[in-house]
Structure 1
Protein backbone atom coordinates (compact mmCIF):
# COMPACT_ATOMS: atom_id res chain seq x y z
CA UNK A 1 0.00 0.00 0.00
CA UNK A 2 1.24 3.47 -0.98
CA UNK A 3 1.89 5.96 1.78
CA UNK A 4 -0.68 8.68 1.99
CA UNK A 5 0.58 12.26 1.72
CA UNK A 6 -0.41 14.76 4.40
CA UNK A 7 -3.25 17.14 3.54
CA UNK A 8 -1.10 20.27 3.69
CA UNK A 9 1.25 19.09 0.91
CA UNK A 10 0.22 19.74 -2.67
CA UNK A 11 0.77 16.59 -4.65
CA UNK A 12 -0.99 14.99 -7.54
CA UNK A 13 -0.20 11.76 -9.30
CA UNK A 14 -0.08 13.49 -12.71
CA UNK A 15 1.88 16.65 -11.75
CA UNK A 16 3.80 15.65 -8.64
CA UNK A 17 4.71 18.43 -6.21
CA UNK A 18 3.46 21.51 -8.06
CA UNK A 19 2.68 24.11 -5.39
CA UNK A 20 4.91 26.66 -7.08
CA UNK A 21 2.86 26.42 -10.31
CA UNK A 22 -0.60 26.90 -8.84
CA UNK A 23 -2.34 30.31 -8.98
CA UNK A 24 -3.60 30.00 -5.40
CA UNK A 25 -2.15 29.54 -1.93
CA UNK A 26 -1.50 25.89 -1.13
CA UNK A 27 -0.93 25.88 2.60
CA UNK A 28 -2.02 27.69 5.72
CA UNK A 29 1.16 29.79 5.97
CA UNK A 30 1.04 31.03 2.39
CA UNK A 31 0.17 34.70 1.74
CA UNK A 32 -3.34 35.49 0.69
CA UNK A 33 -3.65 36.03 -3.06
CA UNK A 34 -6.02 38.85 -3.82
CA UNK A 35 -7.26 39.79 -7.23
CA UNK A 36 -6.72 43.50 -7.79
CA UNK A 37 -9.61 45.64 -8.92
CA UNK A 38 -8.30 46.14 -12.45
CA UNK A 39 -11.64 47.36 -13.80
CA UNK A 40 -11.67 50.53 -11.70
CA UNK A 41 -7.97 51.15 -12.46
CA UNK A 42 -8.69 50.84 -16.19
CA UNK A 43 -11.73 53.11 -16.02
CA UNK A 44 -9.75 55.78 -14.12
CA UNK A 45 -6.95 55.51 -16.65
CA UNK A 46 -9.30 55.73 -19.61
CA UNK A 47 -11.05 58.71 -18.04
CA UNK A 48 -7.75 60.55 -17.45
CA UNK A 49 -6.45 59.81 -20.93
CA UNK A 50 -9.73 60.87 -22.55
CA UNK A 51 -9.62 64.19 -20.67
CA UNK A 52 -6.08 64.77 -21.91
CA UNK A 53 -7.07 63.90 -25.51
CA UNK A 54 -10.12 66.19 -25.33
CA UNK A 55 -7.97 69.03 -24.01
CA UNK A 56 -5.36 68.53 -26.72
CA UNK A 57 -8.07 68.29 -29.40
CA UNK A 58 -9.67 71.54 -28.21
CA UNK A 59 -6.25 73.23 -28.28
CA UNK A 60 -5.56 71.96 -31.80
CA UNK A 61 -9.02 73.03 -32.92
CA UNK A 62 -8.41 76.57 -31.62
CA UNK A 63 -5.02 76.70 -33.36
CA UNK A 64 -6.61 75.46 -36.59
CA UNK A 65 -9.37 78.07 -36.43
CA UNK A 66 -6.79 80.80 -35.77
CA UNK A 67 -4.71 79.59 -38.72
CA UNK A 68 -7.74 79.59 -41.03
CA UNK A 69 -8.63 83.13 -39.90
CA UNK A 70 -5.06 84.34 -40.53
CA UNK A 71 -5.10 82.67 -43.95
CA UNK A 72 -8.40 84.32 -44.90
CA UNK A 73 -7.19 87.79 -43.84
CA UNK A 74 -3.92 87.35 -45.73
CA UNK A 75 -5.75 86.18 -48.82
CA UNK A 76 -8.09 89.18 -48.59
CA UNK A 77 -5.19 91.66 -48.28
CA UNK A 78 -3.04 90.05 -50.98
CA UNK A 79 -6.01 90.00 -53.38
CA UNK A 80 -6.77 93.67 -52.66
CA UNK A 81 -5.81 96.38 -55.11
CA UNK A 82 -2.70 98.45 -54.30
CA UNK A 83 -0.15 100.24 -56.48
CA UNK A 84 2.85 100.33 -54.14
CA UNK A 85 5.22 97.85 -52.57
CA UNK A 86 4.30 97.42 -48.88
CA UNK A 87 7.14 97.94 -46.40
CA UNK A 88 7.74 95.48 -43.57
CA UNK A 89 6.62 96.90 -40.23
CA UNK A 90 4.48 99.64 -41.76
CA UNK A 91 0.76 99.90 -40.89
CA UNK A 92 -1.79 99.72 -43.71
CA UNK A 93 -5.57 99.95 -43.88
CA UNK A 94 -7.88 97.81 -46.00
CA UNK A 95 -10.98 99.46 -47.48
CA UNK A 96 -13.86 98.56 -49.77
CA UNK A 97 -14.80 101.14 -52.40
CA UNK A 98 -18.26 101.95 -53.80
CA UNK A 99 -17.91 99.25 -56.48
CA UNK A 100 -17.11 96.53 -53.89
CA UNK A 101 -13.39 96.35 -54.73
CA UNK A 102 -10.98 96.01 -51.80
CA UNK A 103 -7.92 98.25 -51.75
CA UNK A 104 -4.99 98.86 -49.43
CA UNK A 105 -4.01 102.35 -48.29
CA UNK A 106 -1.79 104.24 -45.87
CA UNK A 107 -4.63 106.65 -45.09
CA UNK A 108 -6.23 105.98 -41.70
CA UNK A 109 -9.97 105.32 -41.23
CA UNK A 110 -10.46 108.63 -39.36
CA UNK A 111 -9.04 110.62 -42.28
CA UNK A 112 -11.76 109.82 -44.82
CA UNK A 113 -15.16 108.25 -45.12
CA UNK A 114 -14.64 104.81 -46.71
CA UNK A 115 -15.74 101.36 -45.56
CA UNK A 116 -12.86 100.22 -43.35
CA UNK A 117 -12.31 96.43 -43.27
CA UNK A 118 -9.23 96.29 -41.07
CA UNK A 119 -5.83 97.60 -40.09
CA UNK A 120 -2.80 95.43 -40.87
CA UNK A 121 0.94 95.33 -40.44
CA UNK A 122 3.28 93.39 -42.72
CA UNK A 123 5.79 91.26 -40.81
CA UNK A 124 9.19 90.01 -41.99
CA UNK A 125 7.66 86.73 -43.21
CA UNK A 126 5.43 88.75 -45.57
CA UNK A 127 2.42 87.79 -43.50
CA UNK A 128 -0.23 90.38 -42.76
CA UNK A 129 -0.96 90.72 -39.04
CA UNK A 130 -4.44 91.98 -38.12
CA UNK A 131 -4.19 94.93 -35.74
CA UNK A 132 -7.85 96.06 -35.84
CA UNK A 133 -10.93 94.77 -37.58
Structure 2
Protein backbone atom coordinates (compact mmCIF):
# COMPACT_ATOMS: atom_id res chain seq x y z
CA UNK A 1 0.00 0.00 0.00
CA UNK A 2 1.61 3.20 -1.19
CA UNK A 3 0.92 6.56 0.41
CA UNK A 4 0.44 9.63 -1.73
CA UNK A 5 1.54 11.99 1.03
CA UNK A 6 4.41 11.67 3.50
CA UNK A 7 3.59 11.17 7.22
CA UNK A 8 4.67 14.67 8.22
CA UNK A 9 2.22 16.45 5.88
CA UNK A 10 -1.22 17.36 7.20
CA UNK A 11 -3.82 16.50 4.62
CA UNK A 12 -7.44 15.43 4.83
CA UNK A 13 -9.82 14.46 2.05
CA UNK A 14 -12.47 16.97 3.19
CA UNK A 15 -10.27 19.98 4.03
CA UNK A 16 -7.12 19.42 1.98
CA UNK A 17 -3.91 20.95 3.37
CA UNK A 18 -5.13 22.62 6.57
CA UNK A 19 -2.02 22.80 8.79
CA UNK A 20 -2.37 26.57 9.19
CA UNK A 21 -5.91 26.17 10.61
CA UNK A 22 -5.04 23.70 13.36
CA UNK A 23 -4.50 24.80 16.97
CA UNK A 24 -1.39 22.65 17.31
CA UNK A 25 1.88 22.39 15.44
CA UNK A 26 2.09 19.83 12.65
CA UNK A 27 5.74 19.76 11.55
CA UNK A 28 8.37 17.30 12.70
CA UNK A 29 10.32 19.93 14.65
CA UNK A 30 7.30 21.04 16.73
CA UNK A 31 7.30 20.34 20.45
CA UNK A 32 5.63 17.11 21.46
CA UNK A 33 2.13 17.23 22.88
CA UNK A 34 2.40 15.68 26.32
CA UNK A 35 -0.56 15.09 28.62
CA UNK A 36 -0.11 16.44 32.13
CA UNK A 37 0.10 13.86 34.88
CA UNK A 38 -2.87 14.75 37.05
CA UNK A 39 -2.66 11.76 39.40
CA UNK A 40 -0.74 13.76 42.01
CA UNK A 41 -3.15 16.67 41.74
CA UNK A 42 -6.13 14.34 42.10
CA UNK A 43 -4.69 12.53 45.11
CA UNK A 44 -3.94 15.84 46.89
CA UNK A 45 -7.43 17.08 46.05
CA UNK A 46 -9.05 13.88 47.31
CA UNK A 47 -6.99 14.05 50.50
CA UNK A 48 -7.98 17.69 51.15
CA UNK A 49 -11.65 17.06 50.42
CA UNK A 50 -11.70 13.96 52.62
CA UNK A 51 -10.18 15.95 55.50
CA UNK A 52 -12.82 18.63 55.03
CA UNK A 53 -15.60 16.04 55.02
CA UNK A 54 -14.14 14.36 58.10
CA UNK A 55 -13.94 17.69 59.95
CA UNK A 56 -17.53 18.53 59.01
CA UNK A 57 -18.68 15.04 60.06
CA UNK A 58 -16.92 15.38 63.44
CA UNK A 59 -18.48 18.82 63.90
CA UNK A 60 -21.96 17.45 63.14
CA UNK A 61 -21.29 14.49 65.42
CA UNK A 62 -20.39 16.83 68.30
CA UNK A 63 -23.50 18.94 67.64
CA UNK A 64 -25.63 15.78 67.66
CA UNK A 65 -24.09 14.61 70.94
CA UNK A 66 -24.69 18.04 72.52
CA UNK A 67 -28.28 17.99 71.24
CA UNK A 68 -28.84 14.53 72.71
CA UNK A 69 -27.46 15.68 76.09
CA UNK A 70 -29.82 18.67 76.04
CA UNK A 71 -32.70 16.36 75.14
CA UNK A 72 -31.87 13.93 77.97
CA UNK A 73 -31.61 16.75 80.53
CA UNK A 74 -34.89 18.28 79.34
CA UNK A 75 -36.62 14.91 79.47
CA UNK A 76 -35.29 14.34 82.99
CA UNK A 77 -36.47 17.75 84.24
CA UNK A 78 -39.86 17.59 82.52
CA UNK A 79 -40.46 14.11 83.98
CA UNK A 80 -39.43 15.27 87.45
CA UNK A 81 -42.01 15.97 90.10
CA UNK A 82 -42.87 19.60 90.85
CA UNK A 83 -46.04 21.26 92.10
CA UNK A 84 -45.57 24.78 90.74
CA UNK A 85 -45.50 26.45 87.35
CA UNK A 86 -41.88 27.28 86.48
CA UNK A 87 -41.17 30.90 85.54
CA UNK A 88 -39.03 31.69 82.49
CA UNK A 89 -35.57 32.94 83.47
CA UNK A 90 -35.79 31.62 87.02
CA UNK A 91 -33.19 29.19 88.40
CA UNK A 92 -34.34 25.78 89.65
CA UNK A 93 -32.54 22.83 91.19
CA UNK A 94 -33.10 19.18 90.37
CA UNK A 95 -32.75 16.66 93.18
CA UNK A 96 -32.97 12.91 93.54
CA UNK A 97 -35.41 12.17 96.34
CA UNK A 98 -35.24 9.52 99.02
CA UNK A 99 -38.15 7.74 97.31
CA UNK A 100 -36.12 7.35 94.08
CA UNK A 101 -37.98 10.08 92.18
CA UNK A 102 -36.45 13.24 90.73
CA UNK A 103 -38.00 16.50 91.88
CA UNK A 104 -37.54 20.17 91.02
CA UNK A 105 -37.15 22.83 93.70
CA UNK A 106 -36.32 26.49 94.24
CA UNK A 107 -34.20 25.60 97.28
CA UNK A 108 -30.45 25.82 96.60
CA UNK A 109 -28.23 22.80 97.33
CA UNK A 110 -26.41 24.69 100.09
CA UNK A 111 -29.65 25.20 102.00
CA UNK A 112 -30.42 21.54 102.62
CA UNK A 113 -28.92 18.08 102.49
CA UNK A 114 -30.43 16.40 99.42
CA UNK A 115 -28.76 14.69 96.45
CA UNK A 116 -28.33 17.54 93.96
CA UNK A 117 -28.43 16.48 90.29
CA UNK A 118 -28.17 19.83 88.53
CA UNK A 119 -29.15 23.48 88.38
CA UNK A 120 -31.33 24.61 85.48
CA UNK A 121 -32.87 27.72 84.02
CA UNK A 122 -36.01 27.75 81.88
CA UNK A 123 -35.53 29.77 78.68
CA UNK A 124 -38.18 31.48 76.56
CA UNK A 125 -38.53 28.39 74.34
CA UNK A 126 -39.53 26.35 77.40
CA UNK A 127 -36.22 24.51 77.19
CA UNK A 128 -34.31 23.71 80.34
CA UNK A 129 -30.72 24.93 80.12
CA UNK A 130 -28.27 23.30 82.50
CA UNK A 131 -26.22 25.80 84.49
CA UNK A 132 -24.22 23.38 86.60
CA UNK A 133 -24.13 19.69 87.41
Q: TM-score, normalised by structure 1?
A: 0.84
Match of 2:97 in 1: 97
Count of equivalent residues: 129
Deviation of the 1:115 alpha carbon: 0.3
Query: Once the two structures are superposed, what CA deviation does each residue of 1:67-107 show, in whole Å capped at 9, x if it has no partner?
Result: 00000000000000000000000000000111110000000
Q: Would you say the 8 A contact 1:88–1:123 is kept in 2?
A: yes
Deviation of the 1:37 alpha carbon: 1.1
Match of 2:125 in 1: 125
Match of 1:50 in 2: 50
Match of 1:60 in 2: 60
Over aligned residues, Cα RMSD in angstroms?
2.8
> Which sections of structure 1, spanning at least 5 residues, go unmatched?
none
SS in 1 for 2:95: strand
1:28 maps to 2:28:
yes
Deviation of the 1:8 alpha carbon: 3.4
Q: TM-score, normalised by structure 2?
A: 0.84
Map 1:62-101 → 2, pairs under 5 A: 62-101=62-101
Provide the rounded CA distance (Å) in 2 between the counterparts of 1:28 and 1:122. 83
Deviation of the 1:34 alpha carbon: 1.7
Deviation of the 1:5 alpha carbon: 3.9
Provide the rounded CA distance (Å) in 2 between the counterparts of 1:83 and 1:64. 32
> Which sections of structure 2, spanning at least 5 residues, go unmatched?
none
Provide the rounded CA distance (Å) in 1 between the counterparts of 2:97 and 2:19. 92
Q: 1:7 to 1:127 in 2, by over 3 A?
A: closer
